[in-house]
Every structure is written in C-alpha cells, then in structure tokens.
Amino acid sequence: MSNTLAVDDTMIDDLLAQAMASPRQRKNLNFHDRESHPCQRLLNAIVPGSYVRPHRHLLDNKEEFMIVVKGCLGVVLYDASGVVTGKIKLDENGPVRAVSIPTGVFHTAVALKPTVIFEAKGGPYAPHSPEEQAPFAPAEGSPEAQHYLRQMEVLLADV
C-alpha cells in the first residue's frame, strides 16, 4: 500500500519541533491531498504561547472533531457575546481525550503543554470569514492577544 501513512512518535516529535520553531507556535500536517477534499484530516501541533483567536465554523459540514494524540489542550466555548459557556481539558492521559464542536459554536484551543491533536471536519478548506471570527476577542498578532491568551490559561487552570 504505497499511500499508507503511519503516525509514529518520530512524526509527532518532528511536528512539535516545527511548531516550536514557527512564529505562530503551531504547525499542521494535512492527510488530505488537496484543499478541496471533502474531508479535512490533519495533525495540528500547538505549543504553549500560541494564540488561536476564538472562532466558529458556519457551513453545515464544518463541525470539528479533535482528539489529543500527545499533550494537553484546553478548549473554551463561548456564546455570541463572548460569555464562556464551557471549558474542556483534553489530555493524552484522560479522562477526556476528544471533543466534537458543533457548527456555529465559538471556540478556541489553548496548549497547556506541547500538544498534537488530530482534527477532522468537512471540506473543502475555507479560511475563516469575518463572520466566523469572534468579535469579542483580539486579532491574532495584536498587542492584546497575549493578554487574552493568559486569561484563557487562568480560566483553564481549574479544569
């Protein structure tokens, strides 16, 4: 099977090293062969300090499934006004390892340790539209982004 790809410790460690070296402190490895593929499947490495602006997916087939392969990730859910409606900690050692986020729910991911997750959602790939970006959260790269990230880390400390 020439198209078979095994996800092993070397692949995971290499992806984490690339994330640590990246200005955004995250790196993904796509398993789908094109952005137009009807099923987006990828590993996403994210390290502490990476700010993922809260967002939502509005298209019907964009519910998002995440499972931790290595590390620990906090997921924060919000209503449309920015009120936190849920906090979930995904940890390779459990008790919770995965989450399915419905279409239309604002969410963010916070690396609590160097982490690799497997993500799946319907394709094709589409960058977030302005309506999908949380208006209550700072833009990535803005001076306020790191302060907002610190607030989320504190919020997740008791999960």
Global confidence as pTM:
0.93
From residue 47, how far is each of 26, 91, 126 by CA, in Å?
6, 14, 24
- What total number of domains does the chain contain? 1
What is the extent of the structural domain holding 125? 9-156
Residue 50 pLDDT grade (very low, low, confident, very high; cuts 50, 70, 90): very high
The rounded mean pLDDT for the chain is: 94
In a domain, residue 81? The reply is yes
Residues 92-147: pLDDT tens digits? 999 999 999 999 999 999 999 999 999 999 888 888 889 999 999 999 999 999 99
In a domain, residue 82? The reply is yes
**pLDDT beyond 60 at 18:** yes
In a domain, residue 3? The reply is no
In a domain, residue 1? The reply is no
Which tokens is 141 given?
């790269």
Tell me the CATH number at 14: 2.60.120.10
**pLDDT beyond 50 at 149:** yes
Whether the CB-CB separation of 77 and 155 falls below 8 Å is answered with no
Tell me what the mean pLDDT of segment 79-85 comes to: 97
In a domain, residue 51? The reply is yes
